[in-house]
Amino acid sequence: MQRYLLPVAAVALSILLFAPAPAVAGDVEDLEKDAAYAEGTPPMVPHRMEPGATGEACLACHLEGKNGAPVSPHTVRLDCVQCHAQGEIKEKKPAAKKKKMLKEVK
């Protein structure tokens, strides 16, 4: 796995996301401001997911918006199903392409 190809951008963002938080002893809290900055409830997945779907499978469409898929605002978070659980299946699309890709992942 050639992870060293990762660009500086990923590192920079990850540091942003997971740098140790500074101690905030005695700070006056502005929870409203924090809430405005926080993400809300993530959308459920309105299409069928393969049981083994990982971030890579999801990003095949959600990275660039293929097949009309919404573009993910946080594509470095790779455990997509941690937040986006199976929702009501609204449309049935042929899943042939996705299946093929999953096989290759394996």
Q: Which of 48, 76, 95, 99 binds another protein (CB under 8 A)?
A: 76
Task: Name residue 45's beta-bridge partners.
Answer: 86
In the chain, the N- to C-terminal Cα span, in Å, equals 14
Cα dist from 89 to 25, 45, 49, 58, 99, whole Å: 47, 8, 10, 16, 17
Q: Which of 44, 48, 66, 97 binds another protein (CB under 8 A)?
A: 44
Is residue 24 helix, strand or coil? coil
95 binds another protein (CB under 8 A): no
What torsion do the CA atoms of 32, 73, 8, 82 make, to the nearest 10 degrees? 90
Interaction residues for another protein, span 16-35 (CB under 8 A): 16-18, 20-21, 23-27, 29, 31-32, 34-35
15 binds another protein (CB under 8 A): yes
Binding residues for another protein (CB under 8 A): 1-7, 9-18, 20-21, 23-27, 29, 31-32, 34-44, 51-52, 54, 56, 59-60, 63-64, 70-79, 81-88, 101, 104-105
